[in-house]
Chain A
Amino acid sequence: MSSSDYLRYLRALKRGPDFRTISEATGVPAGILRQMEQRYRPLGNEEILRKLAIYYDLPAEELFWRHAWSRRDLTFFLQEVSGQDVLADFELATGSTLSGRVQWFDLGSFSLLQEDGREAIVQRHVVERWRRAGQPFSPPAGEETA
């Protein structure tokens, strides 16, 4: 899950406080919080991430390793493998891994034709990591980079 998707996910888990509420609690301007969730590239700095980690009751490292991962990274991987005869694996936030060939992708999802012939429409925000079959997962998780 990219850093922006992860922040949206954390906010949803906290029952969706608005940006102003989080801003009041953390001191991070609401505009920055909004951009961090909506932009395709990483925004914010270490200080902001630490404040958010405290707010969401997480180890800061969990936000640090994801911070380098923007939505663009998955886009470029999907671009590389879509429409080609390339088998790709996607590790999902649910704990399962789906494998198949990417047929198309767009803003929110992508189509994965699995080996059994079924076509899964996978929501992009649920993808934790990915790889071409047989290669290491990207991006590496926090514990691997530490």
Chain B
Amino acid sequence: MYNLRDIRKRKGLSVGQLAGRSGVSAQRIKEYELGGKEIPFDDLERLAKALYVEEWEIKLKSDPPVAPPRSQDRPNKPRVKAPRKGKQSKRRPKQVRVIPPLKDTQRLQIQRLLAYLSLDETAVLELAKKPLDELNQKEASGLLNTLQREIAQREPQERKQNMRRAYLPEGVDRFELKYLQECVESNATLRVTLFDDSTQIGSIVGFGPYILTLRDQEGQEVTINKLAIAYYYCEKE
């Protein structure tokens, strides 16, 4: 893990540029870099994305920067005035930023999204103007955004209204909740197998995204955390 400042410098970005890219204010970035404040989850995600690094590579709390020695502490060096040359010598050599090739995870995700959209790898050539193997991380990231937008456009309008949710079914829990609601309405009995292979049987008293409450034949209620459940059957009468 590295300090935010070190990663930013390595990427050749100023605080202002990083702020512009990430949407995190320059003031906050400075605070994080000085180690005065731990980077909260949301900002960490934005900063990592803007810097093209994984979140875990950034230290949540940066080490305070080491102050440079003050002028009176520095050894006295005779100042030699450099001879003036033409205008060109004043210019700094332009930094060439080399963007690394796409990551394996990016390649895999691109392939999966292509499959989801029923496209093959020739589509990459059309969308990114390059074969998949020749993309760099930035281009791969751009292609992933394009594919995600394409998926979003294909989704029904009702799902688009809730932009905080992901578009893949992985982002919703409504199928199971709908299923449980139908079980309740049909007065069904739920036969639940838990992680330890034991079974709980009863009618549904209540449910939520994380819990299920059953009432057994003796009238006793038991609330089960979904994490403890392996699978269940709804046995309708």
Q: Which residues of A contact B (CB under 8 A)?
A: 8-9, 12, 29, 31-32, 34-35, 40-45, 48, 71-72, 75-76, 78-80, 92-96, 98, 104-109, 111-112, 118-123, 125-126
Q: How far is the CA of A75 from the CA of B61 in the complex (A)?
A: 34
12 new A-B contacts at CB < 8 Å, known A29-B60, A106-B176: A9-B227, A31-B39, A41-B105, A72-B109, A75-B168, A92-B231, A93-B230, A94-B196, A96-B197, A106-B175, A107-B173, A111-B175
Interchain Cβ contacts within 8 Å, total number = 107
Total residues of chain B contacting the partner, CB 8 A: 40
Q: Which residues of B contact A (CB under 8 A)?
A: 1, 38-39, 41, 44, 54-56, 59-61, 105, 109, 112, 115-116, 168-176, 179, 193, 195-197, 209, 226-234
Cβ contact within 8 Å between A98 and B231: yes
Cβ contact within 8 Å between B56 and A32: yes
B237 to chain A, nearest CB (A): 15
Cβ contact within 8 Å between A31 and B112: no
Contact of A31 among B44, B172, B195 (CB under 8 A): B44
Q: How far is the CA of A79 from the CA of B168 in the complex (A)?
A: 9
B144 to chain A, nearest CB (A): 12
Q: How far is the CA of A98 from the CA of B176 in the complex (A)?
A: 18
